[in-house]
Amino acid sequence: MTRLTYTIGDIHGCADALERLLAEIAHHCGGRDYRLVFLGDYIDRGPDSAGVLRILQDLDRTGGEKATFLMGNHERMLLDAYEKPFGVTAWLENGGRSTLASFGIRDPEELPRDALNWMSGLDTVHEDERRYFVHAGFRPGRPGIDPDVEARLWIRKPFLTEDFDFGKHVVHGHTPQKTGRPDVHPFRTNVDTACVFGCLLTAAVFTPEAGPAVEFLQVSM
């Protein structure tokens, strides 16, 4: 039986959309074996970052062997705001205030320790037989996984502008597609479909037989 991989783009505090998308995935898989890969940016900007983190942490506790959770640049910014005082302003100005409000707090030092520990332990890249999964992308010029963690979390150009073959199809988010449609190219697919900006939350469906997605599941905010 074919094992499916569902890869979910940037959530940004849209807990209700995440719950509905997970229900769509459960229906779609129809009893088949599957894996979930989350590409990061779970928090900030949207109305319920605390709820998103609760959902993901519960998934990790109850079915972690079937799920991979990657770090996004917004998780990195939150951790920097907690660990380094000079990072607080940058995070607050990029959606951090919404995250604090969702926890009912005003100070990053009041963030729940379990959520901070969970985020700090996230990887920045994952691979399977045919694909690399990463939040933002890789620097073009060499095949394989980019060793630069900052690039994995933050890169746009030249990753988005050069059609480079990394040896496996690269699945990423980070750059919101305000058309609500995944951005599909020969060597990469962007599944950030701008849910927090009023568009859609997307799960790309992958099989072991091909690098690119065979289907997309989507829900509105």
Q: Is the pLDDT of residue 85 over 70?
A: no
Q: Please report, for residues 18, 96, 111, 188, the alpha-carbon distance to residue 103 in angstroms, rounded to integers and kept in the order given.
A: 18, 11, 7, 35
Q: Is the pLDDT of residue 87 over 70?
A: yes
pLDDT tens by residue, 11-38: 999 999 999 999 999 999 998 999 999 9
Please name which of 40, 57, 60 lies closest in space to residue 171, comparing C-alpha atoms. Answer: 40
Q: What is the mean pLDDT of residues 41-65?
A: 94
Matching residue, tokens 């959902």: 55
Q: What is the mean pLDDT of residues 196-206?
A: 98
Helix 113-120 × helix 49-63 angle, to 10°: 70
CA distance 79 to 29: 35
Structure tokens belonging to residue 215:
């289907």
Least reliable range by pLDDT among 32-36, 55-59, 60-64, 150-154: 60-64
Catalogue all structural domains in the chain, each as residue range(s) with its CATH number.
4-220 (3.60.21.10)
Q: What is the mean pLDDT of residues 148-175?
A: 98
pTM score over 0.85: yes
Q: What is the mean pLDDT of residues 186-201?
A: 98
Q: Tell how far CA 61 is from the center of its chain.
A: 18
* pLDDT score of 68: 97
